[in-house]
Chains A and B, each alone.
Chain A
């Protein structure tokens, strides 16, 4: 059973460019959450997708957008990149039911984005 997969592993961009990161959830999961983990920090919640819609959003600007496809995979798009966007971007998948003890998040290995 494949876990959560993310691509690419590493990415280098320059300021002002746009980037797309991809995530495939664990088999049987229909919910995808994205996190930004800056160096030396804990993960910060960006947003969560369920049934192809953004269900919840953290304190991130509109430059951060996402999409979920019918097969539950997801993309994170960041426009007009800033130096401060350099971070490890983590994707986590879970089931869509809320408030049950089985709703464990499983994390992918992350995409390391460097903005020069």
Chain B
């Protein structure tokens, strides 16, 4: 079975600073990996996905993530945080797109 661990339930950065949200996965075979963002009282919006093509994946709103098989990681980064990035971020994993496993989420706070 697959699983996802997100280190740090809360991350706080200053506006303009680097954003780094951590995600490690467990899977017997290379999975497909996703990052979603959730704003208060809303559903989940896809930021980016890794589907075994390029290991560095670029998403919306300036976010990107790098798949590192040796570290079983898929960390999310953004060079410069914006106030509008404040939200909760979820990492998810699947093998066959018929069952997705989500991490427990990381709340990002952006300080002015």
Binds A, one of B12-20, B45-53, B61-69, B75-83: B45-53
Instruction: Report the interface size class on chain B.
Output: 20 to 34
CB distance from B20 to the nearest CB of A (A): 19
- Could you tell me the distance between the alpha carbons of A109 and B105 in the complex, rounded to whole angstroms? 17
Q: Decide if A70 is an interface residue (CB 8 Å cutoff).
A: no
Main secondary structure of the interface of B (DSSP, over half): loop
- Nearest-CB residue, chain A, relative to B104: A42
CB distance from B45 to the nearest CB of A (A): 7
Q: Decide if B70 is an interface residue (CB 8 Å cutoff).
A: no
Pair count A-B, CB < 8 A: 60
Contact A106 B101 (CB under 8 A): no
CB distance from B105 to the nearest CB of A (A): 5
- A99-B96, A101-B53 known; A42 and B46 CB under 8 Å? no
Q: Decide if A58 is an interface residue (CB 8 Å cutoff).
A: yes
- Nearest-CB residue, chain B, relative to A108: B43
CB distance from B62 to the nearest CB of A (A): 19
Contact A42 B102 (CB under 8 A): yes
Q: Decide if A17 is an interface residue (CB 8 Å cutoff).
A: no
- Could you tell me the distance between the alpha carbons of A98 and B51 in the complex, rounded to whole angstroms? 12
- Could you tell me the distance between the alpha carbons of A42 and B103 in the complex, rounded to whole angstroms? 6
Contact B96 A98 (CB under 8 A): yes
- Nearest-CB residue, chain A, relative to B43: A107
Q: Decide if B84 is an interface residue (CB 8 Å cutoff).
A: no
- Nearest-CB residue, chain A, relative to B98: A56
Nearest first, the 9 A-B pairs at minimum CB distance are A42-B102, A107-B43, A101-B51, A103-B97, A107-B44, A56-B98, A109-B43, A43-B102, A42-B104
